[in-house]
Amino acid sequence: MTLPDDGAPASLRVEGPVVEITLNRPPANALGLPLIKALHTGLDAADALPAKVIVVSSARAGFFAAGADIKHMSSVDAASFSAYGDALRAAVERLASHQALSVAAIDGLALGGGLELAMACTLRVAGSDSRMGLPEVKLGLIPGAGGTQRLPHLVGRGPALDIMLTGRQVDAEEALRIGLIDRLVPAGDAATAARELARELCGPSSAAQRAVVRTVDAAYDRPLNEGLRFEAEQIQELFERGEASEGIRAFIEKRAPEFA
């Protein structure tokens, strides 16, 4: 089901347990307040289903999202700048912490806040003509919606500093090589590939998938011995109260599991 956009800055497409939020704010999907509100509307829809996977894509040729709304930033005082930053961070963090897995479909430019939005997703699929970057230093700023934190987690300290200190753009092949994106597809195919990945992600146990994400994330901020202990706790929890009993029974009975 596709919901009409009526000129809205984003439209929604619902296919079973998959919600696709398609950014559509001319000319370049700048993440101003209207688009931030539209992101929340899409996440509300994902909550209501509830969705297993969220896809974030773009209807704008050549752009995933060009970044924060610089025109808005140029016209506000310090208090309004702070409020705008809080609003953008709230939308990005809501996506990052959502129960559903998420996939960013990047075709074209993903810069500044646009890349921060993509990095908040669980996985990123990019077309071969995509370019990504965090150019905030060229404005006398730093990434302010999670970029300084998520980029090092994805690519490591050195590559993250290289990208942020120079403000340069990374092409899709480099992005794949350093781990900024997870799958590389032909130009223009990112949304289709992201939908296919979303359908694939709907098959396994959502409880187990969420535990995978939690456990992998723990590897970044815990010593190895604590991470291993957390891993053991997660698998025990899944065995006792998750969907492991159905998965194991289905394997023994040679049938597809029926996960929630």
Residue 258 inside a domain? The answer is: no
Query: What does the pLDDT look like over 66-77, one tens digit per residue?
Result: 988 888 888 889
Q: Do 28 and 61 form a contact (C-beta atoms < 8 A)?
A: no
CATH number for the domain harbouring residue 112:
3.90.226.10
CATH number for the domain harbouring residue 229:
1.10.12
Query: What does the pLDDT look like over 199-235, one tens digit per residue?
Result: 999 999 999 999 999 999 999 889 999 999 999 999 9
Query: Which residues participate in catalysis according to the annotation?
Result: 116, 136
Q: How many domains does the chain have?
A: 2
Same domain as 215, residue 86: no
By residue range, what is the domain housing residue 236? 206-252
Same domain as 247, residue 228: yes
Same domain as 83, residue 151: yes
Query: What does the pLDDT look like over 179-188, one tens digit per residue?
Result: 999 999 999 9
pTM of the model: 0.93
Query: What does the pLDDT look like over 121-174, one tens digit per residue?
Result: 999 999 999 999 999 999 999 999 999 999 999 999 999 999 999 999 999 999
C-alpha to C-alpha distances, 81 to 6, 38, 189, 244, nearest whole angstrom: 29, 20, 36, 48
Residue 128 inside a domain? The answer is: yes
Pairing relationship of beta strands 183-185 and 63-65 according to DSSP bridges:
unpaired
Same domain as 72, residue 13: yes
Same domain as 102, residue 224: no
